[in-house]
Structure 1
Amino acid sequence: MSLESLVVKLYEIEAVKFGNFTLKSGIQSPVYFDLRVIVSYPDVMVEVSEHLWKAVEASKTEFASVCGVPYTALPIATCMSTAHNVPMLIRRKEMKDYGTKKMIEGHFKKGDVCLIVEDVVTSGTSVSETVQTLNNEGIKVKDAVVLLNREQGGEQRLASEGVTLHSVCKISQVLDILEKAKKLDRDTVQRVQDFIASNNTFGNNIKRPADGMGDAQQKKVKKVLTYPERQSQCKHEVLKRLYGIMEEKKTNLCFSGDTTSFAELLEVVEKVGPYICILKTHIDIITDFTAENIHKLKNLASKHNFLLFEDRKFADIGNTVKKQYSEGIYKISEWSDIINAHIIPGPGIIEGLKSAAGEKGLTGKRALLLIAEMSSKGNVATGEYTKACVKMAEENQDFVVGYICQSQLSKDPNFIHMTPGVKLVEGTDSLGQQYLTPKEVITKRNSDIIIVGRGIMNSDDPATTAATYQQAGYDAYLEQCS
């Protein structure tokens, strides 16, 4: 089957679709590729694998094995392996908690070179993750082969990481073939071309040979959605409210009231309240805790329009955290809009906290952040742990609204990113806490909210200092939106 015939066939079985589709990032796209359907068309799957093999042969690439990016590329890699008698490795998306606990299945030795097989490449992230997992086992990766290159920066990103991408077909070719076959009209083709040109994932512009795209190729990428745009697209009531506060008060500042005195906390919050969107507390370090003080804190939150976030960092089994959240002297579920948790116990911790809110009649009015990354030196909240956090969040969007993290983990407006360890000047304290500036956090790490504690609490003038942080953070946000 010729490349032209294969592209038309993929269109006919709806592996290539045109219309309006919401991508994982939340972006509306006029084109969508669903190569998963080819498993129901064995003849097409064989043709796809053969086209990939020919691309590999033409590149003169040398390798000892192939590894398909899970999961869509696994059957394609299997076809290549069996048809050409080349060993295959399988990368797991998550480690088993029993047996050998391997991330890579199959026989290999350190130093082996493996070829990555993928169906579609947009940003190159999935390929990059597979490369990293293989590298962790001592397996080298120099090349990857893909059926469709969306020409949105993935090839450049992989090249920057030392991986050469070989593609059977680029999206510009797909559009050309389908237009000539009278499957697409000129308006649809132009709309997709403009979208691709305006949504590069690696740098501001897509650099490629002229293909009739004209000035659209030079469009700047809008890095982030505005707060109102995110508010209109997100689903959770608490997150909608937070985006509204951020827009109304023009702030992305969360103040961490790290003091052992409730009296001092109330005094400082009265001063900084006008400049913050969230107040973060550590209620269990308070020495003069009373229910009356909680009532006063809620009044301040109402007066100055900010959310309450108890930084409890739940980390136990579901049944235990359920009680820690709703019972005891603190009764956190009754007053804190947002809480956070480690995922070490597994998804049961989310279910336990969620059920506690539900039993109090607070479903939709309480939200959870997952601690995906930390700011302290030498912490182990990285790699597979962080990936597992993202996966659990995506599976629990009715309760999880974002992450405590050091960088952007998702472009979905249903998830917000909050970064601790922020000061006006970078540095490290005596206990290993690493500090970043508001500009670094917002514009370079693409986080959404800066968390500031001692920088404000230890200031001689908390109100003025909070206003300075509020302006720095919001200016960085405006820079992103421009």
Structure 2
Amino acid sequence: VWYGMVWYCLVWYGTVRYARMKLAGPLNDVGLKTTDVVVLVDREQGGATNLKDRGVTPHAVLKISQMCKCLVKHKRLSMEIVGKVATFLKENQVVIRPKPEEKKKKDDKPKRALTYEARAEKCKNKTATKLLKIMAEKKTNLCFSADITDKKRLLEVVEAVGPHICMLKTHIDTLEDFDMDVAKKLRALADKYNFIIFEDRKYADIGNTVVLQYSKGIYRPVEWADIVNAHPLPGPGIVEGLKKNGGPAGRGLVLIAEMSSKGNLATGAYTEASIKMALEYPDYVMGFISMRKLTDSPGIIHMTPGVKLVKGGDGMGQQYNTPELVLAEKLSDLIIVGRGIYQAKDPKAEAAMYREAGWAAYEKSLTS
């Protein structure tokens, strides 16, 4: 079942005791997280206790004691036999104390090891360092996705939300009245309010083509955008092509390792290949578009789209998660919010709310 950007698998087993021995343990051994076990019969010999001690919640359709009561009620079992069953169960408890590494607590939450400030000192890409420092100084992990098609409206909204964001994400090719003047004005606002500009271009071609797309034509993002992004699909040539002009200009590249839309194909082996590709270019690839933390590399900034204050969807495949889920539980670094802000009656006030929620979730995720 696909729910909340995670695949869930339900495994049914016969009894609690064997679920622990033959199911929960082996699944954990291969890196899967076992949270709940559904069984047909709890024989009440300690299996449920063993699971709970390891942070796994058992769910039994029936218990031996319930079965006995039902059989007695319908005169299929005598009280004498029920007494013998009860004695047997009491004298044959199998409680296996968990090893230290097996112990889990339901309230255990994943924690991030380093603050934004600490990570800024470990980055090999200058833009990544700058972004993490801005996030720490302004106390914001909010990126505003400005999917606005009119440059006057675009500049007005960015002016309003600028104090609350660490990054502005544009789709510059959707502007109906684009000229390089708007790019210059966005650059001036970025300097005024101290935020990064991220052009969400989603390059997906061979190296030679993206060289031209990045630095030629009417948009020329290399001249004004601190960051662009790309699909890893074409292979490392796309990174090499963008780096040709972006590297000397001190820019950064974000790879799209995962997406927030339902049914997308950026999963599994594709995501793993994206991680490997990114780690081969630590001086240029500075982050991922992803739904969660994918690597412990301090120089990789995880940016998660599809965020609203309340979970839900838009009827077109987009799935929204909350700042709390994205930052405190999935340990992403930065939330990307678009319609939740620019469709609000007061974008400035709404941005302030997202900023507060995002920062609170970040602080909650820290180890100290």
TM-score calculated relative to the size of structure 1: 0.55
Report what 1:291 is aligned to.
Answer: 180
- Per the TM alignment, residue 208 of structure 1 is displaced from its structure 2 partner at its CA by 3.0
Work out which of the two has the higher radius of gyration on C-alpha atoms and give 1 or 2.
2
1:461 is aligned to 2:346: yes
Report what 2:292 is aligned to.
Answer: 407
How do 1:358-397 and structure 2 match up within 5 A?
A: 358=247, 361-362=248-249, 365-397=250-282
Go from structure 1 to structure 2 and tell me whether the alpha carbon gap of 1:444 and 1:455 turns closer, same or farther (over 3 Å shift). Answer: same
Which amino acid in the other structure matches residue 204 of structure 2?
A
- Per the TM alignment, residue 357 of structure 1 is displaced from its structure 2 partner at its CA by 2.1
Q: 2:135 aligns with which of 238, 242, 246?
A: 246
SS at match of 1:233: coil
Report what 2:34 is aligned to.
Answer: 160
Which amino acid in the other structure matches residue 285 of structure 1?
T
2: CA distance between counterparts of 1:321 and 1:157? 38
- Per the TM alignment, residue 292 of structure 1 is displaced from its structure 2 partner at its CA by 1.4
- Per the TM alignment, residue 443 of structure 1 is displaced from its structure 2 partner at its CA by 1.0
Report what 2:241 is aligned to.
Answer: 352
Task: Judge conservation of contact 2:232–2:255 (CA < 8 Å) in 1.
Answer: yes
Go from structure 1 to structure 2 and tell me whether the alpha carbon gap of 1:221 and 1:417 turns closer, same or farther (over 3 Å shift). Answer: closer
- Per the TM alignment, residue 306 of structure 1 is displaced from its structure 2 partner at its CA by 0.1
- Per the TM alignment, residue 463 of structure 1 is displaced from its structure 2 partner at its CA by 0.5
1:282 is aligned to 2:156: no
2: CA distance between counterparts of 1:436 and 1:351? 33
Which amino acid in the other structure matches residue 368 of structure 1?
L
1:337 is aligned to 2:248: no
- Per the TM alignment, residue 262 of structure 1 is displaced from its structure 2 partner at its CA by 1.1
Report what 2:19 is aligned to.
Answer: none
1: CA distance between counterparts of 2:128 and 2:340? 26
Go from structure 1 to structure 2 and tell me whether the alpha carbon gap of 1:392 and 1:156 turns closer, same or farther (over 3 Å shift). Answer: closer
2: CA distance between counterparts of 1:265 and 1:328? 22
Task: Judge conservation of contact 2:110–2:329 (CA < 8 Å) in 1.
Answer: no
Which amino acid in the other structure matches residue 427 of structure 1?
G
Report what 1:20 is aligned to.
Answer: none
Which runs of 5 or more residues in structure 2 are unaligned? 1-21, 37-54, 57-97, 102-107
2: CA distance between counterparts of 1:374 and 1:333? 24
Which runs of 5 or more residues in structure 1 are unaligned? 1-141, 144-153, 163-201, 211-218
Which amino acid in the other structure matches residue 175 of structure 2?
I
Which amino acid in the other structure matches residue 99 of structure 2?
R
SS at match of 1:313: strand
2: CA distance between counterparts of 1:247 and 1:258? 26
Which amino acid in the other structure matches residue 466 of structure 1?
A
Go from structure 1 to structure 2 and tell me whether the alpha carbon gap of 1:329 and 1:158 turns closer, same or farther (over 3 Å shift). Answer: closer
- Per the TM alignment, residue 266 of structure 1 is displaced from its structure 2 partner at its CA by 0.4
Q: 2:306 aligns with which of 421, 433, 454?
A: 421
Report what 2:319 is aligned to.
Answer: 434
Report what 2:200 is aligned to.
Answer: 311
Which amino acid in the other structure matches residue 380 of structure 1?
L
Go from structure 1 to structure 2 and tell me whether the alpha carbon gap of 1:332 and 1:209 turns closer, same or farther (over 3 Å shift). Answer: closer
2: CA distance between counterparts of 1:260 and 1:353? 26
- Per the TM alignment, residue 467 of structure 1 is displaced from its structure 2 partner at its CA by 0.2
How do 1:111-122 and structure 2 match up within 5 A?
A: none
Report what 2:191 is aligned to.
Answer: 302
2: CA distance between counterparts of 1:274 and 1:334? 23
Report what 1:114 is aligned to.
Answer: none
Which amino acid in the other structure matches residue 310 of structure 1?
E
The Cα RMSD (Å) is 2.6
Report what 1:223 is aligned to.
Answer: 112
How do 1:153-232 and structure 2 match up within 5 A?
A: 155=29, 157=31, 160=34, 208=99, 222-232=111-121
2: CA distance between counterparts of 1:463 and 1:279? 14
How do 1:59-138 and structure 2 match up within 5 A?
A: none
Go from structure 1 to structure 2 and tell me whether the alpha carbon gap of 1:161 and 1:439 turns closer, same or farther (over 3 Å shift). Answer: closer
- Per the TM alignment, residue 209 of structure 1 is displaced from its structure 2 partner at its CA by 5.8
Task: Judge conservation of contact 2:287–2:301 (CA < 8 Å) in 1.
Answer: yes
Higher relative contact order (CA 8 A, sep 6+): 2
2: CA distance between counterparts of 1:209 and 1:370? 38
- Per the TM alignment, residue 397 of structure 1 is displaced from its structure 2 partner at its CA by 1.0
SS at match of 2:121: helix
1: CA distance between counterparts of 2:262 and 2:202? 18
Report what 2:330 is aligned to.
Answer: 445
1: CA distance between counterparts of 2:31 and 2:282? 30
Q: Map Cα deviations across residues 193-227 of structure 1 (whole Å, 9 max, x no partner).
A: xxxxxxxxx99xxx6369xxxxxxxx998533111
Q: Map Cα deviations across residues 317-357 of structure 1 (whole Å, 9 max, x no partner).
A: 11111100011001110110000000111111111100122
- Per the TM alignment, residue 155 of structure 1 is displaced from its structure 2 partner at its CA by 4.5
1: CA distance between counterparts of 2:113 and 2:100? 28
Which amino acid in the other structure matches residue 160 of structure 1?
T
1: CA distance between counterparts of 2:99 and 2:150? 60
Go from structure 1 to structure 2 and tell me whether the alpha carbon gap of 1:209 and 1:415 turns closer, same or farther (over 3 Å shift). Answer: closer
